Structure 1
Amino acid sequence: MSQTAPRLQARLLAALGLVFASGSALADFTWNFPKPVTPIGRDTLSMHNQFMIIITVLFVVVFAIMVYSMIAHRKSIGAEPARFSGPRGALQWFWVLVPFAILLFIDFVLMGIPAFHAVIDMEDTRTKADMVLKVTGMQWKWQYEYPDSGIKYISTLTTPREQIEGKEAKGEHYLLEVDNPVVLPVGKKVRILLTSTDVIHTWWVPQFGVKRDAIPGFLRETWVRIEEPGIYRGQCAELCGKDHGFMPVVVKAVPEAEYVAWVDKKKTELAAAAASGDRTWTRDELMAHGKETYDKICAACHQATGQGLPPAFPALAGSKIVNGPLLSPDGKLIPDSHVDRVMNGKAGTAMQAFKTTLSDADLAAVITYERNSFGNTKGDMIQPAQIKALR
């Protein structure tokens, strides 16, 4: 017993030393908020710190009064409880109204006014907005659109499946890395419009102090003005389905000149992608590009093997729809066919319409790939030009 106590005491002292002596631990986001890089983020953190001080003072005062009352009026020193019923006059009203007035002052003056100012500022999305970014959530990826520049693209997770399945060591940005990040200019007020194509998603970047739901059928708003260049990572913060944890948000904030150069480059890439839909692709080209598109877009539901997760996500291997007719004899779209299902989706199911999010080449390639993979051996193919004609 006498030897155990010193050892326990030493361990406690060592643990306390690690907590208080480690500057890196105190700076880590596990123990603190990430450094805010927007006005909203700074206001939110400032209010949080102020409110925590107020709440802590209230807690200490109330707890001290409670402890004092228990000690000063304990039975062991002969304290006698008061025996009364009904109102006790002015003294009783004093102990009711004075604490009420104090709390009223704290809530409305010390906390209410700063909070009101911050909320009004958060909701002011249109005043002096320099640009607009439209964000559309879908299971399980984000679509970003720059209406002023005519740029639109999909952003999906790029963490390798080997890491997710535990076959490889997890990377530095595990589940927080994408193929196409959002690119925004530093120092510009960006009005963000949010919506969804299926269920409720939440676009959240901790350093921005922004967390707003994207709701189907509604257009919601928020705004950011990023003050420091860098890469900022977040994720969907709403339970949006099977792959909720695989829907990261990555924002790359760059100086304005670099942003302008990125816009020009992106426009060139999109124009090249659109032009590629006019040429005739070989079967090998369609299969290679189709596999890439399938792994990035379709495998989350239908699995890399095409076996799906029935009944919500049916198998593509041996599917009657996938192995059905491609187009009608005159080249028209067959209702509820493979092409129709990929382009227009199916209402009431998790199968979304991809004609607004994938290019002609992407659609033609993934359809061709599905019809000639997973044991499906149709041997046919569809050209991007045919998809373009069906739109």
Structure 2
Amino acid sequence: MNRAYAVMTALICLLFASAGYADQPHPWQLDLQAPATPIMHQIRWFEHYTLWFIVPVTLLVLVLLVVVVVKFRASANPVPSRTSHNTAIEIIWTLGPVLVLFFLAIPSFNLLNAQLELPEADMTVKATATQWQWNYEYEGTPAPVAFDSFMLKEADRAAAGKTDTAVYPRLLAVDNEMIVPVNKTVRVLVTAAPSDVIHAFAMPAFGLKIDAVPGRLNETWFKAEREGLYYGQCSELCGKDHAFMPIAIRVVTEDKYKSWLAQAATDLPGAYKALVAQADKPVDGVAVAANVSK
């Protein structure tokens, strides 16, 4: 019994350590990714809230279909009803959907307002999409920092120090992640190169999705509440390599962010190697997913 309890505790610790370290899709995942921002908390709540309406309505329609098939089939009801009007039914099927839509509309509009109303930002990053990469430009920094972010090639894993596919998965890991500090409001300016096509900047754990349109500057925001490495993808069909245009955002402490930013202005590869080496260390004596021996 004690051994089973210990195994269960270890599995729970590893589960939470992994979830805190990297948010990414998982095989057979049924729910949304764990929320890492206030907006995603609201989206996840709204998704669960709508199920209280979707499930009963679906079951009601199923029951009505079964009743119609059984009770009003030709053999059981050879003489069909000629009823042309029923006031009670008309009132019920008019007021019912109106009430359901009313209870869905209010929290939906509140969520949209929270997403679209940008708070005062602590920092601004411009994300420019081209076929098939992202370019990040940090605005208002002491020294200019701008870089391209490509999908990580398998041959480059060792040199980048990203050999663990559990943390840096194939087709999602990138060579240069967007680096932001935890608990800071980040304003993101999203666009696409003038001669390019429409892309979309999407980060599921942040509840973030906005189009990148050539010649147009869209803006959104997020405030990551926990450190970790988060993955998204371009979510607008943009050409033959659309599936190979991932987005990676690494959330770190403010001290680590400032150190990375200062070094990145003059030595971007070195800044990333130093940050990756620090991020992949065990946290508080508990091995994260990247360090669990197989």
Q: What range is the shorter-chain TM-score in?
A: 0.7 to 0.9
**Offset, 1:226:** 0.5
TM-score (norm 1): 0.55
Match of 1:128 in 2: 120
Residue 138 of structure 2 corresponds to 146
Q: Report the secondary structure of 2:214's partner residue.
A: coil
- For structure 2, list consecutive stretches of 5 or more residues without a partner in the other structure: 1-11, 16-25, 158-163, 271-294
Question: By how many angstroms is 1:29 displaced?
Answer: 5.7
Write the mapping of 1:1-391 to structure 2, written as runs, cut at 5 A.
30-77=29-76, 80-83=79-82, 88=85, 92-108=86-102, 110-125=103-118, 127-149=119-141, 150-160=144-154, 171-172=165-166, 173-197=169-193, 198-269=196-267
> Which amino acid counterpart does residue 261 of structure 2 have in structure 1?
V
Supply the distance in 2 between the matched residues of 1:95 and 1:128 (Cα, whole angstroms).
51
Structure 1: unaligned runs, 5 residues or longer: 1-22, 164-169, 273-391
What CA distance in whole angstroms lies between the structure 2 residues aligned with 1:219 and 1:162? 33
What CA distance in whole angstroms lies between the structure 2 residues aligned with 1:248 and 1:77? 59
Secondary structure in 1 matching 2:172: coil
Runs of 4+ in 1 over 6 A off after TM superposition: none
Give the TM-score taking structure 2 as reference length: 0.73
- Aligned-partner residue type, residue 257 of structure 1: D
Q: Residue 35 of structure 1: SS of its match in structure 2?
A: coil
Q: Distance in 1 between matches of 2:82 and 2:172?
A: 64
CA spacing shift, 1:162–1:187, aligned 2, 3 Å = closer
In structure 2, how many angstroms separate the alpha carbons of the residues matched to 1:160 and 1:220? 33
1:29 and 1:249, CA in 2 relative to 1: closer, same or farther beyond 3 A?
Answer: farther
| 1:162 CA drift (Å) | 10
Q: Report SS of the residue matched to 1:268.
A: coil
Q: Which has the larger radius of gyration?
A: 1
Code of the residue aligned with 2:50 in structure 1: it is F
Q: Match of 1:194, as an amino acid?
A: V
Corresponding residue for residue 5 of structure 2? none
CA distance in structure 2 between the aligned counterparts of 1:31 and 1:83, rounded to whole angstroms: 46
Instruction: Check 1:204–1:80 CA distance in 2 against 1; reply closer, same or farther (3 A cut).
Output: same
8 Å Cα contact 2:71/2:77 also seen in 1 = no
Q: Which amino acid aligns with 2:179?
A: V
Task: Report the alpha carbon displacement of residue 75 of structure 1 after superposing the two structures with TM.
Answer: 4.5
CA shift digits 1:303-340 (9 cap, x unpaired): xxxxxxxxxxxxxxxxxxxxxxxxxxxxxxxxxxxxxx
**Residue 269 (structure 1) shift:** 2.3
1:345-389 per-residue CA deviation (whole Å, 9 max, x = no partner) reads xxxxxxxxxxxxxxxxxxxxxxxxxxxxxxxxxxxxxxxxxxxxx
- Superposed CA RMSD in Å reads 2.7
CA distances 1:176-234 after superposition (whole Å, capped 9, x unpaired) = 12221100111111111100001111111111111111000000111111111000111
Secondary structure of residue in 1 paired with 2:70: helix
Q: Which has the higher contact order (CA 8 A, sep 6+)?
A: 2
Question: For the residues of structure 1 that align with 2:165 and 2:77, how far apart are their CA atoms?
Answer: 66
In 2, distance between residues paired with 1:176 and 1:75?
57
* Counterpart secondary structure, 2:267: helix
Q: Distance in 2 between matches of 1:252 and 1:259?
A: 10
Letter in structure 2 aligned against 1:183: I
Structure having the larger proportion of residues in strand: 2
Q: How many residues align?
A: 235
Inter-partner Cα distance in structure 2 for 1:39 and 1:59: 30
**Counterpart amino acid of residue 61 in structure 1:** L
**Other structure's SS at 1:51 match:** helix
Residues 242 and 28 (structure 1 numbering): CA distance in 2 closer, same or farther, change over 3 Å? closer
Q: Distance in 2 between matches of 1:129 and 1:140?
A: 28
